[in-house]
Structure formats: C-alpha cells, structure tokens
Amino acid sequence: MLARFFIAGMLVTGLGFAQLPDRDELAAKFKTAETSHQAAEDLLEHFAMGGIRTLLRNLNDLDASSRLAYGNMFRNMDMFRFRDDLNSNLTSVADADSQAMYLMLISSAGRQIADTFFSPYVDDESSPVHVRLAAAGGIIKIQNPALYDRFLAIADNAVVDSSTGQNDLYYANLNKENLGFFLYAKGKADQKDAPHGAIICAIEMSENDDTDLYEALLNNKKKKYYASMIDHAILVGGTKLIDVMLGHKQMKKSLQQLESAKLIAEKFAEYRVKSANTLKGETATLLPYLPVRFGGTASKSGYHSAYAIAKIDATGQMSLVYHNAPFGDGNDNLKAVLTGRTMPANVDFAPVETYVLVAAP
C-alpha cells in the first residue's frame, strides 16, 4: 500500500515538472520582439527567481532600448543575489547607458557590495559622467562623508536638463531612502556658495515637505535652477514646493509657469500614492515595462515638454488617465506610447494593476 502511494506521488510530481515550459525556448522567445513580453511573463510565472536570472542573462542580446526598459523594471528591487550575472553583463556590454543601468542594479544591494567594487568605475575620468555617478550611487550607500564628497565632486560636472531629457543622475537612483546623503547634500545646497553638484542632488532627492531647501535656493538667488525646481516639484506632486515659489518675490516673472505647474502637480500628487514606485513585495517587485525616455520638444528651457499619467492593469493593458503639455511644442509621444499593451508591474511574481507618472522627453 505504501509503495502504491509512493509511486502515485512520484507520478503526480513528474507530471507537475513535465508541465513546466522549456526555459531555453522561453529565453529564445524573450529575445524576439513579437514574443518578448509573453516570454518574460511566463519566465516569471513559472520560474520565479530563476526566471529573473534568465531574463538578466539574456539582456545583452536585446537592442539597447529594450535592454534598458527591461533593466529599469528592476530598479526598485534588491538585486544582490544576481550580482554575478549583472557583473558579467556589465563587463561585456559596450554602450554607456547599459553600463550605467547595470551599475545601478548592482548598487541596489547597498552595503552588501564593497565600495572597492565600484571604485574603478567611479575613478575612471574617461567614462561618461552618468556612468561614474551610477557607480558612485553604490559607494554612497556607505555612510561616509568622504564618499559623499566624491559623489558630489563628480556631480559638479553633471547635466540635469528636463527640456533635452538629459539627467546624469538618473542611474544613480537618488532618493530620500538614503537620508544621510540627502541631509549632507542639502546642508551644502543651503549655502550661498553652494556647488552645482550639491544643488542638483538635493533637488533630485527632495519631496513635497522639503520647502526649506526651496526657500534657501530662492533666498540665495539660484536663478539657474528655478526651472528645474518647478519641473521637479511637478514630478513629485510637490504642491507645497510650488506654493513656496508662488509666494516668493524671486518668482514674479514665473507666475504663469508656476500656475500651470501646480495644476499638474496636484494631479501627480493624487496618483503618486498608488503609482508603481510605491509597490512593495517580500521577494520581488518589478516596475512596468516602459521606455527609459520618451520623445518630445520643450518650448521652454528647463522644463519637460509634457507630463502624463497612465493606468496599467494586471494584463498589461495601458490607458491614458491624464496628459498636459504647457511647456511643449505639441509633438510629444506620450499619448501614443501609453496605449496598447505592455508588461505590467509584478509583485512577488504576480502581475498587479498600477499607475505610472511620466514626462517627456
């Protein structure tokens, strides 16, 4: 009798394994544009962490824009267990954006990765600034003022220009979760002789309640950064930040921009609390698949050309919720890109509905 149950159990287990799709076939389909998303979803559903590893190991076989879009899905996840795969990709890819993306993903492991791993990339002055800052984003996970200063020194040469879409801080993935670095950068940005690197880093990490930073920049007449401050306030739903600017004498010439910005910021604030960036899982959290950059031409220097909110349901179906382009020439591609189907957000290997807040270019 026991033997019969044992054999039955083995048969059931065998049938379960037999029903798994072939991972090599899925990997091949992942590298084909027409079947890529479905293959990626099947890998996640059936192989979980093993599926992520398969995706990562095949990223370098994709075109650069697809590679960046897939890689960017992992930017809010601790990728420590995949560090060897990421390092292998990093050392075998040629384009600078992909290098920066892999360095960003490795840095997500925080203090688990020694700063000596990142140092060769940080110190290579022949590399593009955004690659060096992506690597430096790893070393500032260690609470050390000397390492903070190293990052800020490189950031002195960084460009953050919403009207062209260039943001050399993007792959450094700066946010206030690294509170020590934010307070350090903010402390330097508050000064009248504040260096460029400290100012752009502090703005990049600021949230709606950081009105004291905005007040200091206005009081110190940092006019070069006013457009960036307005644009950033929109992206974080920073209505309080915009109110500070509306009430400051330095912004009298920018009232029209501020009034337009506040309308968008209010909408972004409404949806930001249920956006993809707020998703949390116990083992894995993936953002939806979207381009890293969108197209469009800004009519005003320092501002994005357009801002949009899209709903992405659990099947990956996209629908445009909101679009506004007060600083654009009307040629952005957000309405076109944010329709149709994409790969949805994923929490612990289950697709979920969410919202994305994006800007172009």
Antiparallel, parallel or unpaired: β 285-286 and 354-360:
unpaired
Report the pLDDT value the prediction gives residue 13, as an integer from 0 to 100: 47
CA-based nearest residue to 360, from 73, 70, 164, 100: 164
pLDDT digits (tens, 9 = 90+) for 338-361: 999 999 999 999 999 999 999 999
Cβ density class 266-285: b for 16+ within 10 Å, e for less = ebbbebbeebbeebebeebb
What gap in Å lies between CA 301 and CA 181, rounded to an integer?
A: 29
Below-50 pLDDT ranges, the chain: 1-3, 5-8, 10-16
Report the pLDDT value the prediction gives residue 14, as an integer from 0 to 100: 47
Cβ(329)–Cβ(298) under 8 Å?
yes
Cβ(291)–Cβ(69) under 8 Å?
yes
Contacts of 249 (CB under 8 A, 6+ apart): none
Cβ(339)–Cβ(319) under 8 Å?
yes
| Residue 259 tokens, joined | 């009034």
Q: How many Cβ atoms sit within 10 Å of the Cβ of residue 25?
A: 11
Report the pLDDT value the prediction gives residue 111, as an integer from 0 to 100: 84
CA-based nearest residue to 237, from 208, 274, 258, 259: 208
Residue with tokens 């994409």: 342
Cβ(344)–Cβ(316) under 8 Å?
yes
Report the pLDDT value the prediction gives residue 12, as an integer from 0 to 100: 45
Report the pLDDT value the prediction gives residue 5, as an integer from 0 to 100: 43
Report the pLDDT value the prediction gives residue 18, as an integer from 0 to 100: 52
97: amino acid identity, one letter: D
Residue with tokens 């009430």: 247
Residue with tokens 């991972």: 23
Bond from prior residue into 120 cis (ω within 30 degrees of 0): no
pLDDT digits (tens, 9 = 90+) for 81-96: 999 999 999 999 999 9
Contacts of 279 (CB under 8 A, 6+ apart): 76, 285, 287, 345, 347, 352, 354
Report the pLDDT value the prediction gives residue 201, as an integer from 0 to 100: 98
| Residue 204 tokens, joined | 């990049």
Q: How many Cβ atoms sit within 10 Å of the Cβ of residue 8?
A: 10
Contacts of 149 (CB under 8 A, 6+ apart): none
> What is residue 326's DSSP assignment?
T
User: Which residues lie across from 359 on neighbouring strands?
Assistant: 307
Helices 226-235 and 211-219: crossing angle, nearest 10°?
170
| 3-state DSSP assignment of residue 357 | strand
| Residue 147 tokens, joined | 């390492």
Question: Which helix (H) or strand (E) element contains residue 160?
Answer: strand 160-161
Report the pLDDT value the prediction gives residue 19, as an integer from 0 to 100: 83
pTM above 0.75, yes or no: yes
Question: Which helix (H) or strand (E) element contains residue 257?
Answer: helix 255-272
